[in-house]
Chains A and B, each alone.
Chain A
Amino acid sequence: MDAAHHLISGFAVILTPANLYYCLLGSLVGTLVGVLPGIGPLAALSLLLPVTFNIPATSAMVMLSAIFYGAMYGGSTTSILVNIPGEAASVVTCLDGYQMAKAGRAGAALGIAAFGSFIAGTLSTIGLNLFSPVLVTAALSFGPPEYFALMTLGFVVTMFMVGGSTLKAILMIALGIFVSTVGMDVVNGVERFTFGAVNLTGGFDLVAVIMGTFGVSEILMNIERLARGEVVRGKIRGLFPTRREWRDSALPILRGSGLGFALGILPGGGPVTASFVSYAVERKISRHPEKFGTGVIEGVAGPEAANNAAVAGAMIPMLSLGLPSNAVTALLLGALIIHGVQPGPLLMTQHPDIFWGVIASMYLGNVILLVLNLPLIGIWVQFLRIPYRILFPLILLLAVVGTYAANLNIFDVWVMIGFGVGGYLLVKLGYELGPFILALVLGPMFEQTLRQSLIMSSQSVLIFVTRPITAAILALCAAVAVLFLRAEWMKKRESP
């Protein structure tokens, strides 16, 4: 009853012309960045963050969230029609989606991706709607030691989840925490690593670092690989799936929704992981696993549902605990902070307009995306034909203007460029930037909760063992680490 009441108030917030406009705008921008290879939701959010400074916090969050899930819709279009993933969570969609398009079933693939996304998006938003208030109630019993334990869990899971080398992930987390320590110490206000420079006293500007690390480095990467695939020609028809296609896709969509939702909540998870796991699961339980990769609709329906569900899942810890589970939600959290809104369990009671408004907007945004995307596919395909030599300088310009406008400080522009080049080099060396940004955002809170806990306990580390929730979470960290290390060790032994 209460939840329904709040949701209605959320819709009241959303159904104003301004917020509807931002929801629509976010959905469109999201779809566009999803469609355009090379710019994912992360780069888009980081580049557009400064644009939201002058609009109310609720509108900003509605628009930024819409970009996040909108990108999930758009990504599949490019994967299916060009065989290049529009963004990382649509990589697996290429496998069967492009094959379907080549066999003349592009319409069916696009249709099921959109309907699957819609169903998963809506189901997981219901989950978000029901689950977050429960978590909020529990969250008030979370003090500094519990938060410290939760963040530790986030880091531990991130280390093993990002794929690639665990050692490299640890290095990136360490680097992120290190960068976050530049500036004034969170406890004593002492300056650290500033070398007396006035511009560094407050640390590196979060927006500048994020724009550089994700926006600028992405552009650099793309300049390097200007190769592009051939857009599938011919008229796209049959967007509404047939009865048989529905029958084949129904269960994969439901499984994808569940999987994606769960993986979205987990720290270190998110749409990318969710889509890969869903594809693997579908192939494993299929009666004809050998056909995967030749154009089966389950291979499109499952992952596309999963990446959408993961978005709503990832919003849960962000909205209810103020803890991001991946880099995109870390950015959304940054947006809240920039708007002067304190994230955390009190968000729901102190800013119900933001909390319920965002949730209501997700129901609405999914409808908007479904209604708009299918008829507009022809237009999205046109965007794929804009030459990069025009597109990328424009984005770069936007990044420079945006960074400068945020603080009116030219130093931030240099920071952005510096981190852009740095991020580019790290990617070239095989490092993932996700853990870096997660650690950068969580770093100050990680350090602070550790030191707060120790101040509370008069410097006794026993505080992490004597508080039941803290102890349980830290035990879970150890279990996760042991499991993953064991799995890695086994793998190494099998393939000497």
Chain B
Amino acid sequence: MKTIPRLVAALVILLALAGAAAAQGDAKGKLQALKPKDYPTQPIEFVVVYPAGGGMDVTARLLAKYVEKYIDQRVIVANRTGGAGLIGHTYLATQARNDGYTVGILVNPFWAEDELVRAKGKWTIKDMTPLGFINYDPLTWVVTTDGALKDKSVKDIVALAKDKPGTVKIAIAPDGAFQFLAEAVEAATGAKLVKVPFQGGAPGITALVGNHVDIATGFLAEYRGHLDAGKVRPVAVAGQERSVFLPQIPTFNEGLGVKDIVWTAWRFAAVPKGVPDDRLRYLEAAIDTAMHDRELVEEYRKLGVIAGTQYLKGKETADEIDRFHQAHKEFLTKTGRIGR
């Protein structure tokens, strides 16, 4: 029987060979200057706290492939799943070794959320040192093209939910960005939505297509098939700016005339705190080099996630994480999820 590690190893070697063949002389040379003498001498592990095949996993595997292209060392993706991410987060923050061979591929709001709501003080976001921002994916509200809301704008929909509370049904995923987005809209406008919980975006989209709910919440990849088939229509995007994939769809901030409704899956890489400085600089530069590879950006775009519009190094990524952590803490306090 083949064992999984062997399969992975074979795959990784293949990829490494392919990567070496397409030597990117210039970028590679610059990176080489930062390389510590004694590092990396063994494969680097990218830890993903969600299962294989999901958005996080694919993000990590693609990044691993391109980092490998530049560092002449294997990069292996390991899925430490369970507890909806809490097990992997706890492992990274409290047990993973800080020798530069373990890198966490994390995503906000869930990283901050887990610390604020579920870590019970066992760890904080400061236990991980960010290396750089990878990509982001804004949440979207979608409606069907044949349902009651087929020609309504996000403003119309909110007005309807305000006039007749309890008539507009929205599919959400409990206690995550999906629900937070709906609550933020309610708080900002005084609308009242019936929030029907589903396990993630895709089942909600299915219910939407059958018109069992009026609005579904989801990431582009979850409804792209129906969008192309003309079955669904996005009404607003929860990003800071419009999505490059949906340039004609307004943001929530534009559509509702507010300024702080932003809910995205914001992915970044980080290492356990205390990694030696030279290794930290090298990893940071390796990820930055990979992110500047047009092919990687193109691969992310094919998945429907936004990459290559901004590049953040470790410090800037850390600042953004701190900013979000603060804002999210306020949001959770305001909605009564955590005590003051």
User: Is the C-beta of A127 less than 8 angstroms from some C-beta in chain B?
Assistant: no
Contact with A along B205-217 (1 / 0, CB 8 A): 1110110110000
Interface segment out of the listed A33-41, A62-70, A356-364, A452-460? A452-460
| A110–B11 CA distance with the chains assembled, in angstroms | 42
> When the two chains form the complex, which single residue of A202, A339, A452 contacts B197, counting CB atoms closer than 8 Å?
A452
Contact with A along B86-129 (1 / 0, CB 8 A): 11001000000000000000000000000000100000000000
A349 proximity list for chain B (CB < 8 A): 225, 229
User: Is the C-beta of A444 less than 8 angstroms from some C-beta in chain B?
Assistant: yes
The A173-231 residues at the B interface (CB cut-off 8 A) are 183-189, 198-202, 205
Say whether, besides A54-B4, A184-B84, A340-B51, A144 and B196 are in contact (CB < 8 Å).
Answer: yes
Say whether, besides A407-B80, A444-B199, A455-B197, A346 and B90 are in contact (CB < 8 Å).
Answer: no
| A430–B2 CA distance with the chains assembled, in angstroms | 36
> When the two chains form the complex, which single residue of A188, A199, A346, A407 contacts B174, counting CB atoms closer than 8 Å?
A188
Say whether, besides A51-B4, A186-B174, A458-B166, A407 and B82 are in contact (CB < 8 Å).
Answer: yes
User: Is the C-beta of A408 less than 8 angstroms from some C-beta in chain B?
Assistant: yes
A54 proximity list for chain B (CB < 8 A): 4, 7-8, 11, 52
| A456–B171 CA distance with the chains assembled, in angstroms | 10
Say whether, besides A342-B203, A407-B79, A142 and B87 are in contact (CB < 8 Å).
Answer: no
CB atoms of B86 and A189 under 8 A apart: no
Contact with B along A401-428 (1 / 0, CB 8 A): 1000111110110000000000000000
Nearest to B86 among chain A residues (CB) is A201
CB atoms of A344 and B4 under 8 A apart: no
Closest CB-CB distance, A170 to chain B, in whole Å? Answer: 26
Closest CB-CB distance, B165 to chain A, in whole Å? Answer: 11
Contact with B along A332-346 (1 / 0, CB 8 A): 000000111110111
Nearest to B176 among chain A residues (CB) is A189
| A412–B81 CA distance with the chains assembled, in angstroms | 11
Nearest to A397 among chain B residues (CB) is B1
User: Is the C-beta of B78 less than 8 angstroms from some C-beta in chain A?
Assistant: yes
| A441–B175 CA distance with the chains assembled, in angstroms | 22
The A452-496 residues at the B interface (CB cut-off 8 A) are 452, 455-456, 458
User: Is the C-beta of A374 less than 8 angstroms from some C-beta in chain B?
Assistant: no
Interface of B, secondary structure class, is mixed
A57 proximity list for chain B (CB < 8 A): 53
| B79, B200, B229 — most chain A CB neighbours (10 Å) | B79
Say whether, besides A54-B4, A187-B197, A405-B5, A456 and B83 are in contact (CB < 8 Å).
Answer: no
CB atoms of A405 and B4 under 8 A apart: yes
CB atoms of B175 and A50 under 8 A apart: no
Closest CB-CB distance, B87 to chain A, in whole Å? Answer: 6
User: Is the C-beta of B169 less than 8 angstroms from some C-beta in chain A?
Assistant: yes
Say whether, besides A198-B90, A201-B86, A201-B87, A408 and B199 are in contact (CB < 8 Å).
Answer: no
B118 proximity list for chain A (CB < 8 A): 201
The B154-185 residues at the A interface (CB cut-off 8 A) are 166, 169, 174-176
> When the two chains form the complex, which single residue of A340, A345, A350 contacts B52, counting CB atoms closer than 8 Å?
A340
User: Is the C-beta of A382 less than 8 angstroms from some C-beta in chain B?
Assistant: no
B175 proximity list for chain A (CB < 8 A): 188-189
A458 proximity list for chain B (CB < 8 A): 166, 194
> When the two chains form the complex, which single residue of A183, A350, A401, A448 contacts B199, counting CB atoms closer than 8 Å?
A448
CB atoms of A342 and B78 under 8 A apart: no
User: Is the C-beta of B309 less than 8 angstroms from some C-beta in chain A?
Assistant: no
| A306–B90 CA distance with the chains assembled, in angstroms | 51
User: Is the C-beta of B62 less than 8 angstroms from some C-beta in chain A?
Assistant: no
Say whether, besides A339-B53, A405-B4, A448 and B84 are in contact (CB < 8 Å).
Answer: no
Known: A202-B84, A409-B82. 7 other contacts (CB 8 A): A140-B210, A185-B174, A201-B83, A340-B52, A405-B5, A408-B78, A452-B197
- Show the binding face of B for A, using Cβ within 8 Å: 1-5, 7-8, 11, 51-54, 57, 78-84, 86-87, 90, 118, 166, 169, 174-176, 194-200, 202-203, 205-207, 209-210, 212-213, 225, 229
- Show the binding face of A for B, using Cβ within 8 Å: 50-51, 53-54, 57, 140-144, 183-189, 198-202, 205, 338-342, 344-346, 349-350, 398, 401, 405-409, 411-412, 444, 448, 451-452, 455-456, 458
11 A-B pairs within 8 Å (CB atoms) are namely: A54-B11, A141-B210, A143-B210, A144-B196, A144-B207, A198-B87, A201-B82, A205-B82, A344-B206, A409-B81, A455-B196
